[in-house]
C-alpha cells in the first residue's frame, strides 16, 4: 500500500492535504496550492521539486541535510577535512581552514562526480565480495556433505572388507581344522587296520591251537606248539612296535591376538573422525572509496616520462623444447599464469615468489588468459575457434563459447569480456554475447572502463577506440616494430611489447607521447604483457620464456 505524503505547510495550519510535490531542500511535501506559493517566494523559488512518486524511491536513502551535532542546515563543505558543516561547525571547528566552500558549489555536477562512480563501483565490488563469500560457504557446505558421504562409503566399504576378510579367515581356519582332523583320523585308521589285522591273526591262531589239541597227534602238537608260538610272538612284537608310534590328539584353538581384542571388546572404536580447519583462501577485493563530493576529474598520470619500472623478481620459466608462451595473467592471490599454445594443453602456474607450482590442464592449446573475478578466468584457444570461462579453484569449465573463427587475445573490464576475432566481440561476465566492435589488428587487445586498445603487428600500429568503436587515436613510431601484447593502466596509458624492436614501451593516454621502459636482448622475442591495476605491477614475458619478470610500476 502506498504511503500517503501530506503537505507540510498545510499540516502546520492543522489541515490535511495530500502532497503532489516534494521539496528536496525543505524536505517536506507540497500540495498544488503550496507548490505555487513555494515557486513564487524569492527564497524558495530555486528549490528543486520532485514528484512524490520519485520521492518515495529515495526516501529510505540515508541522506540528512542537517548537522548531526547542532541540528542546523548543512551549508558549507571543508575540502581539506572532507566534511560538511553547519553555521556553528564553521567558526568553531573549521575557522582556520582555507578550503571551505559553499555546499552548493561542492555539490555541482554531483551526478557526474568520480566519487559517485567510485561509490557505485565500491558497492558493486562489495556485492561481488559478498556473493563470493556466499558461493564460498555454499561450496564449503557442499564439500562437507560430499566428504560426509565419502567417509560413510569408506566406513561401509571397510566394514564389508572386514566382513569379507573375516569370512575368508574363518574359511581358511575351518579348512585347516578339517585338514588336521583328516590327517589325525587317517593316522588312527592306519593303526586300526594294523591292529585289526593282528586281531584276526590271533583269532586264527587260537582256533588252530584248539583244533590241534583235539585232533592232532602228540608229535604234531609238540611241533605245532613251538611253530604257532613263534608266529604268535612275532605278531606280539609287531603289535608292541606299533604301539610306540601311536598318539592321542588334543585340538585347541589359539585365536589371533587382534581377533581376541576385537571379540573381547578391547578394540572399542571402529575409527576416528578428525576435522582439520584451514584457511579457505577467500580473497576479498579491497576498495578505496575516494573523498566524498569533491568535484574533480581524475587526471591521467601526467607525462609518461615520469613513469618507471622497478624489478620485483625474475621468473624462471619451466621450459621445454616446444614451449611457446602466448598469454599471461596475474591472479588476485598473486600467482602468475602463462598460456602455452604449442601442443601442451596446459597453463603454467607460478607462486608469488616466482616458483613453479604446476600446470593446469585445459581443453586445448591455450592462447590468452584474462582474470574475471576471484575464482574465474577466461581462456581463448586461438585457431580452435572458442574460449572458455574456467574456474581455476576447482579446475572446472563453467562455459564454453564457440566463436566461429580464430580466437585471439582477450581482456576483461567493467564486467565485460572482450575477445579479439576479426572484430572485437563483447560478452557479459556469464558468456552471453552483447555486441561486436570494429577494430584493427588481429592478436592482442586490452580494455579499460572507457577505451579499447588493439595492437596491429602487420603495420606496427597501436589503436585506441571508445566503447562505440570510434577511433580515438592511433600510434605509430619507428621505435615500435611488430607490436604484440598490450596492457593498460588505470589512467589509460598503454604498455606494449615490440616483437622485432625487442622492447617494451609505454604510450601516453592521449597517444601523443611514449617512453621506452625496457630493452630485451637480441635473441628474445617479446610476446606478452599484463598489468595488475590493484597492485600497479607489470608482468612481461618473451615467447620462449628466456626473459620473464615482474615489475613494480612507479608513478612519480
Burial of 536 from C-beta contacts in 10 A (0-12 / 13-18 / 19+): middle
pLDDT (tens digit, 9 = 90+) per residue, 158-179?
Answer: 999 999 999 999 999 999 999 9
Rounded CA gap, 265 and 452, in Å? 74
Rounded CA gap, 462 and 459, in Å? 9
pLDDT at 292: 42
Residue 322 clears pLDDT 80, i.e. is over it: no
pLDDT (tens digit, 9 = 90+) per residue, 424-475?
Answer: 999 988 888 999 998 888 889 999 988 999 999 888 999 999 988 899 999 9
Rounded CA gap, 502 and 523, in Å? 9
DSSP 8-state symbol, 299: P
Q: Which residues contact 394 (CB under 8 A, 6 or more apart)?
A: 139
Q: Which residues contact 189 (CB under 8 A, 6 or more apart)?
A: none
Helix (H/G/I), strand (E/B), else coil: 148: helix
Question: What pTM does this model have?
Answer: 0.52
pLDDT (tens digit, 9 = 90+) per residue, 370-387?
Answer: 999 878 999 999 989 999
Rounded CA gap, 131 and 149, in Å? 27
Rounded CA gap, 494 and 538, in Å? 12
Per the document, the length of the chain is 556
Name the CATH topology of 8-111: Double Stranded RNA Binding Domain (3.30.160)
| Domain assignments of the chain as residue spans, ordered by start | 8-111, 117-263, 304-555
Tell me the CATH number for domain 304-555: 2.120.10.30
With pLDDT > 90 as the criterion, what percentage of the chain qualifies?
Answer: 44
Total Cβ atoms within 10 A of residue 56: 13
CA distance to 463, 495, 502, 515, 530, per residue, from 475 (Å): 6, 12, 17, 13, 20
CA distance to 53, 330, 435, 441, per residue, from 382 (Å): 53, 20, 20, 14
Burial of 70 from C-beta contacts in 10 A (0-12 / 13-18 / 19+): middle
Amino acid at each position: 500500500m502506498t504511503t500517503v505524503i501530506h503537505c507540510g505547510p498545510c499540516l502546520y495550519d492543522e489541515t490535511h492535504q495530500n502532497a503532489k510535490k516534494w521539496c528536496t531542500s525543505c524536505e517536506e511535501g507540497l500540495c498544488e496550492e503550496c507548490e505555487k506559493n513555494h515557486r513564487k517566494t524569492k527564497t524558495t523559488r530555486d528549490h528543486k521539486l520532485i514528484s512524490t512518486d520519485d520521492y518515495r524511491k529515495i526516501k529510505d536513502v540515508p541522506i540528512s541535510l542537517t548537522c548531526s551535532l547542532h541540528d542546523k542546515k548543512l551549508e558549507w563543505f571543508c575540502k581539506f577535512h572532507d566534511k560538511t558543516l553547519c553555521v556553528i561547525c564553521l567558526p568553531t571547528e573549521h575557522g582556520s581552514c582555507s578550503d571551505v566552500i559553499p555546499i552548493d558549489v561542492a555539490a555541482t555536477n554531483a551526478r557526474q562526480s568520480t566519487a559517485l562512480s567510485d561509490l557505485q563501483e565500491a558497492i558493486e565490488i562489495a556485492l561481488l565480495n559478498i556473493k563470493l563469500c556466499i558461493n564460498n560457504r555454499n561450496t564449503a557446505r557442499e564439500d562437507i556433505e560430499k566428504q560426509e558421504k565419502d567417509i560413510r562409503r569408506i566406513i561401509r566399504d571397510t566394514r564389508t572388507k572386514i566382513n569379507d576378510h573375516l569370512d575368508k579367515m574363518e574359511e581358511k581356519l575351518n579348512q585347516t581344522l578339517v585338514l588336521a582332523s583328516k590327517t589325525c583320523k587317517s593316522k588312527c585308521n592306519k593303526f586300526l587296520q594294523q591292529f585289526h589285522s593282528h586281531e584276526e591273526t590271533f583269532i586264527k591262531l587260537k582256533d588252530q591251537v584248539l583244533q590241534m589239541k583235539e585232533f592232532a597227534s602228540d608229535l604234531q602238537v609238540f611241533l605245532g606248539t613251538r611253530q604257532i608260538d613263534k608266529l604268535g610272538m612275532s605278531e606280539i612284537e609287531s603289535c608292541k612296535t606299533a604301539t610306540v608310534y601311536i598318539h592321542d590328539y588334543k585340538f585347541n584353538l589359539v585365536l589371533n591376538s587382534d581377533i581376541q581384542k576385537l571379540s573381547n571388546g578391547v578394540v572399542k572404536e571402529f575409527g576416528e573422525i578428525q576435522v582439520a580447519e584451514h584457511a579457505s583462501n577467500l580473497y576479498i577485493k579491497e576498495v578505496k572509496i575516494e573523498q566524498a563530493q569533491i568535484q574533480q576529474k581524475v587526471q591521467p598520470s601526467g607525462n609518461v616520462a615520469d613513469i618507471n619500472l622497478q624489478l620485483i623478481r625474475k621468473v624462471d620459466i619451466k621450459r621445454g623444447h616446444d614451449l611457446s608462451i602466448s598469454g599471461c595473467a596475474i591472479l588476485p592471490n598473486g600467482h602468475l599464469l602463462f598460456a602455452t599454445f604449442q601442443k601442451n594443453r596446459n597453463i603454467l602456474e607460478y607462486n608469488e615468489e616466482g616458483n613453479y607450482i604446476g600446470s593446469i590442464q585445459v581443453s586445448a592449446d591455450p592462447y590468452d588468459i584474462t582474470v574475471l573475478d576471484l575464482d574465474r578466468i577466461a581462456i581463448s584457444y586461438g585457431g580452435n575457434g572458442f574460449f572458455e570461462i574456467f574456474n581455476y579453484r576447482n579446475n572446472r569449465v563453467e562455459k564454453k563459447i564457440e566463436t566461429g573463427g580464430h580466437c585471439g587475445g582477450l581482456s576483461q573490464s567493467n564486467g565485460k569480456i572482450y575477445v579479439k576475432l576479426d572484430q572485437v566481440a563483447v560478452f557479459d561476465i556469464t558468456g552471453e554475447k552483447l555486441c561486436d566492435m570494429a577494430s584493427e589488428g588481429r592478436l592482442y587487445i586490452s580494455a579499460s572502463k572507457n577505451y579499447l586498445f588493439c595492437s596491429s603487428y602487420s603495420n606496427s600500429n597501436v589503436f585506441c577506440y571508445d566503447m562505440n568503436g570510434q577511433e580515438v587515436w592511433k600510434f605509430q613510431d619507428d621505435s615500435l616494430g611488430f607490436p604484440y601484447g598490450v596492457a593498460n593502466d588505470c589512467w589509460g596509458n598503454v604498455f606494449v611489447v615490440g616483437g622485432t624492436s625487442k622492447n617494451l614501451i609505454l604510450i601516453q593516454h592521449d597517444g601523443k607521447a611514449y617512453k621506452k621502459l625496457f630493452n630485451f636482448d637480441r635473441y628474445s622475442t617479446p610476446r606478452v604483457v599484463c598489468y595488475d591495476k590493484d597492485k600497479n605491477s607489470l608482468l612481461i614475458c618473451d615467447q620462449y620464456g628466456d626473459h620473464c619478470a615482474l615489475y613494480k610500476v612507479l608513478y612519480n
